[in-house]
A = this chain, B = another copy of it.
Amino acid sequence: MNWTSFLEGGIEIFGQAVIAIIAFIIAKSIGNKIIKTGFTKMQEQKDISLGRVKTLEKLALNAFSYVLIFVFITIVISIFGLDATGLIAGAGIIGLAIGFGAQGLVSDVVTGFFILLERQIDVGDYVTASGLDGIVEEVGLRTTLIRGFDGTLHFIPNRNISSVSNHSRGNMRALVDMSISYDDNIDEAVKVMQAVCDRIATEDERIVEGPNVVGVQSLGDSDVVLRIVAKTVNMEQWAVERTLRKELKEALDANGIEIPFPHQVYIEKKNA
């Protein structure tokens, strides 16, 4: 083994790597600036939704970064290739790794491509994907970032996303179940609750359709359950449900209709 050339080769590779890295960092910062400026202008002049613009901007940055890394690696390999191979026989394992790794990477990119093409999700949408809920922060070529409601940031490789449930596409349903006692008159309870519903429908601009009392949903152990359904503006369904719960509870109280606690019949027995 020729130890001198072994060392010299090592130093040479190190120097060239440093140059390549610096070039890479400069190219990246310039490219990013151009992309961001372009999308900011686009947003000002055209009539595309903000979510879509952000989606495309994040994607462009993401794609640019991968292309850059790809070009960078290609240049490095093409310049130092022979020496490196001559020096360390193990360099072949990198090629193998890329071969193996590419399979998963391509699955990620193909799935990502269709998510974008079919506009399944935009940045800012509230979605469920791969069993995780949250607001989309970025749709990348390889990874989708979702911010959960507790603040957690989820990194999901696109190949893990099979079915996407998008909760930001159209009006949502608000659903409230109210319990009344078996002794109360159902018709009267429905009348009282429908009156509240009608008042809220006119007052609350977030409501699109309903709310309506649809009828006796179930006969429980201790209560008769009545269901109220409404349609609301997107993402306002929880707030509307909270309002409905409060108003309906107060209306039932005011009209002397009982929201019953669990009941139990006691039979005393003397022997024991």
Q: Which residues of B lie under 8 Å from residue A182 when comparing CB positions?
A: 249, 259
A-side interface residues, number (CB < 8 Å): 95
This chain: copies in complex: 7
- Is there contact, CB below 8 Å, between A222 and B261? yes
Within 8 A of B (CB), among A206-235: 214-219, 221-222, 224, 231, 234
Within 8 A of B (CB), among A111-157: 111, 113-114, 117-118, 120, 128, 130, 132, 140, 142-143, 147-157
Partner of A261, one of B88, B142, B171, B263: B263
Q: Does A101 contact B (CB under 8 A)?
A: yes
Least CB distance, A33 to chain B, in whole angstroms: 18
Chain A residues within CB distance 8 Å of chain B: 1, 69-71, 74-75, 88-90, 93, 96-97, 100-107, 109-111, 113-114, 117-118, 120, 128, 130, 132, 140, 142-143, 147-157, 160, 162-167, 169-173, 175, 178-179, 182, 186, 214-219, 221-222, 224, 231, 234, 237, 239, 242-243, 245-246, 249-250, 259-272
